Amino acid sequence: MTDISAPARIRVEHAAQHAVVLLDNPPMNVVSLQLTRELYAALRRLERDDSVRAVVLTGAGERAFCAGSDIGELVDMRAPGAVLEHKLIFQNKVFELLRAFPKPTIAALNGYTFGGGLEIAACCDLIVAEDHVRLALPEIKLGVFPSSGGTFRVARKIGEARAKEMIFLGDPITADQALAWGLVNRVVARGQARAEAEAIAARIGQGPRLAMQKAKSIVNLAFDRPDAEAIAESLKASDQVFCSEEAREGVDAFLHKRSPAFP
């Protein structure tokens, strides 16, 4: 159970058509059990909120997006199965909820993005990083490895060899290196990640909701399913999209040379 006397570790702020989720566990916004539970609850609420078309995740303060797990919580989880029961099974469930979230998600990296922080970012559809940001999977230095998707999700973004380099050595890389490797989408000046991510979210909010959702779901199949299954799912989703009011509006706007106003 969450300690109701403890301050909230997740804050949600709403804009016109998107929401901003702030990881707020000072000083480094580490992944604690409480933060994970609150993140799950926040994502479930935003999933049901039809006014939210996209979600931005960022870190509170200026030092870190998220600097990894709360190591102090692991001390009492050394018995066989304990870390799975008390931390990793639920944490993986929450991170997978973020990866499969039906609306576009954007991570705005405003500081250190290590370990569990990078695992959270890797679940998002797009990543914007400030130019001073360092990213790492340093778990190997603790005698463990990234256990909430950092292995396979980072490998899907940057390839097997580079993912193994990050995991085996545990050394940080720069934002520019992450951009060159394809780990992040954009690099911006210090203090600008959230603004850039919100600008992207606002643009997404003007687009067709159903087509965005279906396109994301099909892209997410790219590394998970054989081509035949991906094609079948794509055709099913395409049929839904092409019959939608949004598609009707988009085609009509194109034919009449006007900007679409998606419902």
* Structural domain of 167: 10-205
Give the distance from CA 36 to its chain's centroid: 13
Per the domain annotation, does 110 fall within a domain? Answer: yes
User: Would you place residue 248 in the very low, low, confident or very high pLDDT band (cuts 50, 70, 90)?
Assistant: confident
3-state SS of 192-214? CHHHHHHHHHHHHHCCCHHHHHH
Give the global pTM: 0.89
What are the residue numbers of the active site? 119, 139
User: Would you place residue 188 in the very low, low, confident or very high pLDDT band (cuts 50, 70, 90)?
Assistant: very high
Do 200 and 226 fall into the same domain?
A: no
Question: Strand 112-114's sheet: what is its strand order?
Answer: 64-66, 112-114, 134-136, 173-174
Token reading at 129: 């990083």
151 backbone φψ class: left, alpha, beta (φ>0; ψ -120 to 50): alpha
Do 39 and 85 fall into the same domain?
A: yes
Give the integer Cα–Cα distance in Å for 137 and 167: 6
Give yes or no for residue 5 having a pLDDT over 80.
no
Do 150 and 108 fall into the same domain?
A: yes
Radius of gyration (Cα) for the chain, nearest Å? 19
Query: How many other CB atoms are found less than 10 A from the CB of residue 226?
Result: 9
Give the distance from CA 19 to its chain's centroid: 13
Report pLDDT digits (tens) over 47-78: 999 999 999 999 999 999 999 999 888 888 88
Report pLDDT digits (tens) over 192-239: 999 999 999 999 999 999 999 999 999 998 887 777 887 888 888 888
Do 221 and 181 fall into the same domain?
A: no
